[in-house]
Structure 1
């Protein structure tokens, strides 16, 4: 049975289509509807309908914009355009986007069912042709991590393998095995087998996850879920359990390298690349610590104990004004150290690796760690005394705080521009996500995602709140009729405006105006009583 979703800003049209077709009898599932393209997008990504029916002219994100986004993200979905506008240009645009059919309103239930069956037959034929080759789970997961398969193809392959792949959030971890004894380069064959079996047994007990072996010593874990904080917590708990069991049971050390939690299936590749980078930095840090331990036995070395956690906390919360005093106090133990010894180099290098890695993870910056480390290691080699080490650490903090500033200010200006556009043009019934994104100079899909992430509401919700707020003001302060107020706040359909107003406020515009008049009279009476 194919899943059907409807997008139309006219509530009567949605109700009519929803009620006039016996969906189950016709072999379909009606999986939901929405009043505009932006509200529809998360529903489409969640429900993954087989066929999307959408109106063309809708507020904010119209049907053509929605179709373009859906064709890009989920090209397997068949799109049927409905429109009351007999305009050849609309038809041309729709056909260029690759929609399945284009028809004019009003459309009868019989005609609509015929269109749906035709689209359904084409879906069946495409699936039959694609079944000529099959994915294995390992190849599917490897291709997802490698960015070698698109969303639509991945979902289809997962369906064929009976795997539930789609979810709101994903994260990738790379699990690497190594001997606990740093003097041993490799584990024995028996130890690898025992460690591999223990790892497999533990991962079987982890729900909502997929795993594949990348090599004899490495496995890749894809974890999915509906709450990002729970995914991170599960990975941290898993790491602690596995590391303890591996060391106790088989004398093996397990390293868990993590990528960030991502929202889209296509971004599994991003999380995987971050896990790879995390693995590389852990390896560098481990090598540096091993060297630090080795050179600490040099009689010329002056062992220094520094509170790393205190420095990391200062990186996250400190300021430029406090830095000179803090660094001088923190690094006081470095005074008098032999700066000609390799111990000094590896100590400062180790602190640097820890700070850069923490900054990258905490500030979610796009800064290039590898390039920065090359530059910093050159500076570390030139340190020859205590004062130069103090200058270096101060400079390092300033560099990393620039990352922090970039992260916190990244989208503030962008969001302010969007809100300003909406406040200035809320009365324009043609105001759309596409128009705003064009004026601001970013893609509509990116803008929609960022606005939702940063404000906790969609742009449509913010526009609606702005328009209804202005309508409430006009209902209280003017004698304008409801249809006039609807037009003044950007709605050319009085019925749609009234329904939306009641949905938001719990009252019709007329009821809201009467309530305001009663409150005003009560206020005047109260003032008169006070005067008496």
Structure 2
């Protein structure tokens, strides 16, 4: 609906125009009627109208000045001048300003007025259509250019195959710029809760948020859990902290960012490597935005106060594996963590020693393929505290399995089959890994490893595939709304369901329904 205003200092003319046409039924809303240009401008300055019908000669502010201000403020406004026979020079001045047309007061009829207004409406509709098409063309061009540069940056950083020799670096790389490596905190836990595709969906939403709030720059996934940003150094800290806050409030995720800087395309790889090293501070200092490298990872050799790892492992093996001291192993694990904290070893070295810890404790008692799965989990630890929690969970799970005399492989297969039956009966409702593990009386960690060994999938990915299959079935049922399909297949969040469905099937739920009908 278009908005219209009427301005005339003669009440008879003003109210006569207002009452002569049924504006609402013709797609117009009367925004106001005013006695002079100044009164009208007080409204139009804050809330422009689409069509302005104004007298020329008025006190305080005349129609020509009002027209000039209105078109300066909102150039798409259509102005119709109302004049007398002897006002032609004023009308000519108005036409030069860009008014749409004019009407003579002595011959003013409702039919001619309405026809002129409809003419203005048709012009507005055509201009809006052209503006929309132009915007779509411009947006499409910018999107194509953006994607070319994103692909070129990936190749320049060797994040994807292909040569960047023919690629023209964006102008941003010729000025002081920053490369920010952003990782999602707690990514492994999020994937365990929501499936392996969840982080990639999050990265896409983070990328969208970046482009919605950043005037200049690029953002693209640079790994399974990482988004890489390229943006100007000016206002860098404010931009990064604003983005981190937006992601936290809007997507409910915490992130860690490491920042490197450069001044030319040749500095790009070095800036990225610096950003990755800066992000490494998270292992010791927790999530945040970091601009400096961790510093020296190799302090002097430890003194007598720092125990040797092998001595700690020997004691751990006695307490944890044999159950000789049910609580003593926790103290020894704390001693291991304290040792790593004091030595300040490189994180990868610490993760390797954590894997050696599990191998030493349980390498002779469990299937090595299960231990290798646990090693991968330890290698993904994000902080020292996170590593400690993983170690504690793995030691508890293995110790419990040893004490309870674990079943042979055939028995384990039977337990997983029992869990699969439980999942099949409950996957359309809220279902957690802990519930499935409890059903077969296993620790969550041990069940998770066995489930993947026998099915080839993580627990939550297995459940999601069942839910997507159920959703496909429900989408063929006439009359069901998309949110009802989501709920009926076990998804509580219809927005997440729609994005995940498209990611896994290549089409939206609506498109799938249309193809299936």
More relative contact order, 1 or 2 (CA 8 Å, 6+ apart) = 1
- Normalised to the residue count of structure 1, the TM-score between the two structures is 0.30
Query: Looking at CA atoms only, which structure, 1 or 2, has the larger radius of gyration?
Result: 2
